[in-house]
Chain A
Amino acid sequence: MKIEIPYPLRPYTGNQPAVDVDAATVAEAVNGLTSRYPDFQKHLYTPDGKLRSFVNLYLNDEDVRYLPEREETAVNDSDTLSIIPSIAGGSCPVG
Chain B
Amino acid sequence: MLRVSQPVYDALRQHGEETYPHECCGVLLGHFLEEGGQAVNAVEEAVRAGNTRTDSAHNRYHIAPQELVKIQRTGRERGLEIVGFYHSHPDHPAQWSLTDFAEAHWLGCSYVITAVERGAARVTNSFRLAGEREEDKAFEDERIEVTGQMNPGFEPEPLRQSRK
Pair B63/A87 contact, Cβ less than 8 Å: yes
| Contact for B107 among A8, A56, A63, A87, CB less than 8 A | A8
**In the complex, what distance in Å separates the CA atom of A43 from the CA atom of B133?**
7
A interface, size bucket? 20 to 34
Known A-B contacts A4-B72, A94-B98; the reply to A89 vs B87 at CB < 8 A is: yes
**In the complex, what distance in Å separates the CA atom of A90 from the CA atom of B102?**
10
B86 to chain A minimum Cβ distance, whole angstroms, is 11
A82 to chain B minimum Cβ distance, whole angstroms, is 5
Across the interface, which residues of B come within 8 angstroms of A92, CB to CB?
56, 59-60, 97, 99
B interface, size bucket? 35 or more
Pair B72/A93 contact, Cβ less than 8 Å: no
Pair B97/A87 contact, Cβ less than 8 Å: no
Pair B89/A91 contact, Cβ less than 8 Å: yes
Closest to A56 in B: B65
Closest to A58 in B: B69
**In the complex, what distance in Å separates the CA atom of A86 from the CA atom of B60?**
14
A60 to chain B minimum Cβ distance, whole angstroms, is 9
Pair B53/A95 contact, Cβ less than 8 Å: no
Tell me the residues in window 1-48 of chain A with beta carbons closer than 8 Å to chain B beta carbons. 4, 6-8, 11, 17, 42-43
Across the interface, which residues of A come within 8 angstroms of B89, CB to CB?
90-91
Across the interface, which residues of A come within 8 angstroms of B107, CB to CB?
7-8
Across the interface, which residues of A come within 8 angstroms of B60, CB to CB?
88-90, 92
Tell me the residues in window 123-161 of chain B with beta carbons closer than 8 Å to chain A beta carbons. 132-134
Question: What residues of chain B have their CB less than 8 Å away from a CB belonging to chain A?
Answer: 23, 25, 27, 32, 53, 56, 59-63, 65-66, 68-70, 72-73, 76, 81-83, 85, 87, 89-90, 92, 96-109, 111, 132-134
